[in-house]
Chains A and B, each alone.
Chain A
Amino acid sequence: MTNIKGRFGIHGGQYIPETLMNAVIELEEAYNFYKNDVAFNQELTQLFNEYAGRPSRLYFAKKMTQDLGGAKVYLKREDLNHTGAHKINNVLGQALLAKKMGKTRLIAETGAGQHGVATATAAALMGLDCVVFMGEEDTIRQALNVYRMRLLGAQVIAVKSGTATLKDAVSEAMREWTSRISDTHYCLGSVMGPHPFPTIVRDFQAVISKEIKEQMLEKEGKLPDAVIACVGGGSNAIGSFYHFIEDKDVALIGCEAAGRGIDTLETAATIATGKLGIFHGMKSYFCQDNDGQIAPVYSISAGLDYPGIGPEHAYLHDIKRAQYVAISDDEAVDAFEYLAKTEGIIPAIESAHAIAYALKIAPNMKKEQTIVITLSGRGDKDCAAIARFRGEDLHE
């Protein structure tokens, strides 16, 4: 689906300062070599299996299925991965690649902190230095993850510029990369940014849909009717969709964060409210005002609180291969609590956006139909914030 220069339809590209061009070209060349290298792939598979705990379980949510009374619901348990989210898949791949390229230092942005923790983890494992940029607002929302990163040996820099959230962390990581390139790899956490990042990150996350397909065929003897995942930049979603893109009967549904509603300014639903633009190295859809200024987006979920969406999602939206829906804070929090009480699984508030949409559609589907929801991360990190949302004065 990628053509030259990393385009997905009209989306993607390499809209970055000249200073970084040779760095992304070098990365692309290294990736094109190692992605077909047997030893590299063996090493990565071993890390996936022995270190991250793959393959992740595809769990039949029996109580949820009974309660909803419609389609059979399966949960793809990325929350059970080491570090508690799908982020580790991409990070192990990129860290290994960086090491092969002779880099000694990883930098990363993080929103909820999951990608930062994963990067700090891989850096510790592989003996690389690590600096994580995190919006100051998010360091407060996700204080525990800040501590985890420090414990793992990473330096965490609280970004105060702009809205002090994920987009500013990305901007600051890009600025840092332009100032120090030779020993540093920018371990981008989602399927966004300049080519080749959207492709590299997708390929490392595609293990999710590869496993779902095998597991569904084993358990049900057929493909699912729908795959649902939450979308910020969109890495767990593209990972969950990728091996089903050619299977036209499988509905692919991405759940964006509507925040306080898509008719308010406090939203992060890019497909619902954004328009075509150029930002953070890519052409895609972005939340922006009429004068082309990037919007200060909002969601209860720090991981979905991003004003753009990966270029491949923008393309899947254009060609109507995937559907993108917006889920509000209220719906996500309800789903967070629902899954905890119904299945004994506390999902990340990001993943709860996907659960919320399944709660809407599963009851209207036939009993012989199946839904797979990617549970991209676990919700321990969110408990204090959700308690506060419900009016309890709880702090970590």
Chain B
Amino acid sequence: MELVCPAGNLPSLKAAVDNGADAVYIGFRDDTNARHFAGLNFGEKQIREGLKYARDRKVKVFVAVNTYAQPSGWSRWTAAVDRAADLAVDALILADMGVLDYAAERHPNLNLHLSVQGSATNPAAIGFMHRHFGIRRVVVPRVLSLAQVANLIENVEVPVEIFGFGSLCVMVEGRCLLSSYASGQSPNTYGACSPAAHVEWRDTPQGQETRLGGVLIERRGHGEPAGYPTLCKGRFSVEGEIRHAIEEPTSLNTLDILPGILAAGVSAIKLEGRQRSTRYVSQVTGVWREAIDACKRNPQAFRAKESWHQTLAQVSEGAQTTIGPYHRPWH
């Protein structure tokens, strides 16, 4: 089981490599990837240096080109695919069927992964993508229970990668338009959810307010900690009650079910967080490396160490973590 770690810049890539990643995933500096944030991602020089650093240490580098191209921007996506092919990256992570079709035709030897943004949640969907584009891995959306993941693995030819840790998307990735409904920009069209340029913070007599595209997505008491301004984790009014109508500000952590993940035959575990700090990447990569190695050595005896949980809790979004959809009662 491969450990796939995030890197939003060169220091993070090195941190992931140094702390035990089997593969690092990165993006270019534009809207062709789903972490299109200011100051993040890789230019030509950083990529070449990063590739060399990783390869010298036998770590793979994957490039995500996992947003959806519209006709007016099409050439940016094909250019990104060509660039990744020229760099001979270890895998290209794609979501858009048109971009997959282009990549499969133009670069038949390129190793293609279907991104989580590709929204394939069942054997028929994965079979379709495999038949037409020859995908060699699928990253499944965070909607399946662990039992469903295990069942999926039995029924597809394509190795399955799942998200193990990090910010939790509550919706099927690639099929959530909440961000563009409020702000005009979504992960699909722009490469970011709740983009920073549309977020406003205001101190009012009623409390501290967070707005996205002018829509009030959270109002909290003075002194309450501010979470990430993601609209699905805000509090709203439902039948007269103010509550987290969609999800609480919690993040995903599957350490406790690692033996089950291993037994299910999961090929790779991905850690979320290309937008996070180098310190985050170092710490979560280190913990997960240690955990996976311990679990592989003796799955029966595996118990997540308290120190691992403490380290992860320090860098988690929100104060709480959840096993999320892998655990049926979450649904």
Pair from one complex: no
Q: Which residues of B contact A (CB under 8 A)?
A: none
